[in-house]
Structure 1
């Protein structure tokens, strides 16, 4: 009988991907989660032993217990593992074990990691390379993927490298991507300087670094990466080894056409990074560049959840001001029309630190914005920090509105009631706001049925 690895919080996006890869290594996998997420359901549908609710007895007999930073020491299963002396692995440590012996592509940055990681995997598969991946969302279009995890057979894997808790420093990738670096997760890193140092250390551990020189902080790390012995390939909209423009990607004097299914200028940059990484790992350049036109996207990244009463509902994971601004700009450029935006801030510390930028990002024309309460996740409330801080910094243009909701359910009702035929409703944030998409669709359908 194979050793059993137990996952606490297995229904999370990152944990579910690691669980899939651990299972592919021949381990038995068990796991628990408080809520029945889509990732949890995907693992259960794949035949894994996952259960709702935490129970200390489920840890007994496990060879190791896997946790994320969000699991607190007071969790009954973690406490039981400590009591029994069962090894406790952080999620990233489990991922390292799952990918032992693989050639790795690691994608790091404040924004765009999930989409870019999935783009790398997609480009490799389009070139006949059966790459594995560990991505923090469902990846559409790759048969056999469970949640965000896929084992692959090529000895090549793509992983989303998380800087939020410093765990990306556990990886030793053959190729790494540096997308962008902005102040975030300072609850862990403490200072912006520490955050930048962590990214520099991550780059120094890579054989090849693919760096976006459109980002000033990333551009500042290029020389340090070279000094550490890494081969650096730069990309951007100008003055780079690979330049993305209206016609396509140009490198070494050759331009390959580039059509990207995901909207937004930022996704053309993401595709360029993914193309460079895929080619470094053996993909055919032309096939890889052409593949992005058929990229199926990932869960909660501009994901169309449905349409009712003439209103489209799109769900997106954007949870930093830059991401929210990029999402709404891409939507506007993509013809979304009038927008209804339900935004749920995630983390009290991020809300405190970025309230002004969130307010500016949400102050868009021809829009109805609804603010749900802060989703605390792993944090305790901070006195005086609420969605009202964001509202105080918003300056809505004439014709646009902003409304504060008492809870997520009320926010969903307000968003549905604000929507008119031809509008697009966005549910935005990294927390439980994804649940609101279905509630909004149901309310719209009921309204349509009532005439």
Structure 2
């Protein structure tokens, strides 16, 4: 690994990707400091681990830093970035830092439009349980490692590869899982063709002795497979031509299972406690990757059975007076449909979806695609758009999604702009046995927690 200055400053240290990098660098012995607009559990954990964390972005915070790390979310007019640039302090993107850490160990990266965090978490857990002691960097919380990151002394680094801004092209993984390629982040790419092109480049970076573990249920993934620099290993639930397939799939409350076959030979059963066919696909990818690395199938299967999910991925928050609250990060139509199918698998009562659209650009580009994705919900509440820092676009609001969804579900779609409106409506209309499923990449999870608190009071 090339030399890294001892004193490293993270602008936006509380972010999912940034905080993980900061934690690993702390454990490597670096002097880590950083800033974030607000204090959080994440920043408090980093402080407890030895980081210096400033609240708010101020130019003087970077004084003394030998290197500044930023994410795409940091704008050019950020006062700390401006001072660092004017002072000649080197500035790198967080993906560059991840790439530097990958030089220490063999990188195992997970990329794709959907399922990245869960698949990365599954892979990390299996590697940990199978005594590989990997370094782990995930976009969500994993209970088994006590957060979203862990420094390991083994030969592998497990990380989520973010395609949203092309930053995953800064990585050179030894092995990469690609779960799917779809029309997300069009505000950055402009077209699906550009997204596909970036995945071609990503797979070309895999060395000849490495591998791409590719989902052959996905047409776009099949198209980029020939570009892989290493061996191509394929998996699928619906495509019998894949190397690894899953047969005799069972989707039951508290159990998702299937028989793994490799080129026609039965390897054995995998079982999950997390729901959903999509999670079986994620697990099959992990099986294929870990077998490529020489792990034992029975140990892999036993480890997967212990997987309890990642933070904000079908995360159980509580049950009060017969009303259960679960939260999920789903914010793209494909993710929402898969999450609702999983909810229907495990829940016998009403499924009430509370969806907060994420970003004006995504709403503008995909609003018609949201129309049919709520079919497995009994009732759908749609909130106003969470901007994620974007400026409003004239004519773009959550009403676009409401109108599209009503074409399929009519009066089962309710538009309630705010969290307060949503909570009051649910308190007056909930039924014993309801599952309230909050979905979105913004702060809709807070609505679920606040609802539980109000139910306790009533």
Normalised by the length of structure 1, the TM-score is 0.93
Contact 2:340 2:377 in 1 (8 A): no
Equivalence for 1:361: 373
- The whole-number CA distance in structure 1 between the counterparts of 2:212 and 2:150 is 24
- The whole-number CA distance in structure 1 between the counterparts of 2:287 and 2:376 is 33
Equivalence for 2:384: 373
Contact 1:12 1:37 in 2 (8 A): no
Cα shift readout 1:320-367 (whole Å, capped 9, x = no counterpart)? 110001000110011252122211111111111111111321244522
Residue 251 (1) aligns with residue 262 (2): yes
- The whole-number CA distance in structure 2 between the counterparts of 1:318 and 1:119 is 18
- The whole-number CA distance in structure 2 between the counterparts of 1:50 and 1:336 is 46
Equivalence for 2:297: 285
- The whole-number CA distance in structure 1 between the counterparts of 2:446 and 2:437 is 12
Find 1:34's aligned residue among 34, 37, 60: 37
Cα shift readout 1:121-164 (whole Å, capped 9, x = no counterpart)? 1111121111111110111223xx4x311111102111100000
Instruction: Output the aligned Cα RMSD.
Output: 1.8
Equivalence for 1:409: 420
Equivalence for 1:310: 322
Residue 153 (1) aligns with residue 153 (2): yes
Cα shift readout 1:24-59 (whole Å, capped 9, x = no counterpart)? 222111122223344334323434222322222111
- The whole-number CA distance in structure 2 between the counterparts of 1:407 and 1:365 is 20
Equivalence for 1:240: 242
Residue 24 (1) aligns with residue 18 (2): no
The alpha carbon displacement at 1:399 in A equals: 8.9
> Superposition pairs for residues 180-219 of structure 1, below 5 Å?
180-206=180-206, 207-219=210-222
Residue 77 (1) aligns with residue 113 (2): no
Contact 2:352 2:377 in 1 (8 A): no
Equivalence for 1:421: 432
Aligned residues: 439
> Superposition pairs for residues 220-235 of structure 1, below 5 Å?
220-225=223-228, 229-235=229-235
Find 1:9's aligned residue among 12, 19, 29: 12
Cα shift readout 1:402-451 (whole Å, capped 9, x = no counterpart)? 2222333333433444322210111111112122222111111112xxxx
- The whole-number CA distance in structure 2 between the counterparts of 1:361 and 1:242 is 28
Contact 2:344 2:376 in 1 (8 A): no
- The whole-number CA distance in structure 1 between the counterparts of 2:310 and 2:409 is 35
Contact 1:364 1:397 in 2 (8 A): no
The alignment partner of 1:136 has SS state of strand
The alpha carbon displacement at 1:65 in A equals: 1.3
Contact 2:135 2:152 in 1 (8 A): yes
Structure 2, unpaired ranges of 5+: 249-257
Q: Which has the larger displacement, 31-40 or 11-20?
A: 31-40
The alignment partner of 1:130 has SS state of coil
- The whole-number CA distance in structure 2 between the counterparts of 1:159 and 1:44 is 23
Find 1:138's aligned residue among 134, 138, 141: 141
- The whole-number CA distance in structure 2 between the counterparts of 1:378 and 1:398 is 31
Distance 1:423 1:183, change over 3 A: same
Find 1:387's aligned residue among 391, 394, 398: 398
Equivalence for 1:267: 279
The alignment partner of 1:141 has SS state of helix
> Superposition pairs for residues 32-111 of structure 1, below 5 Å?
32-111=35-114
Contact 1:185 1:350 in 2 (8 A): yes
Displaced runs of 4 or more, over 6 A: 396-399
Cα shift readout 1:232-258 (whole Å, capped 9, x = no counterpart)? 001012221111122421114132111
The alignment partner of 1:135 has SS state of strand
Structure 1, unpaired ranges of 5+: none
The alpha carbon displacement at 1:3 in A equals: 2.0
- The whole-number CA distance in structure 2 between the counterparts of 1:45 and 1:373 is 36
- The whole-number CA distance in structure 2 between the counterparts of 1:36 and 1:230 is 43
The alpha carbon displacement at 1:400 in A equals: 5.8
- The whole-number CA distance in structure 2 between the counterparts of 1:354 and 1:314 is 25
The alignment partner of 2:142 has SS state of coil
Distance 1:243 1:74, change over 3 A: same
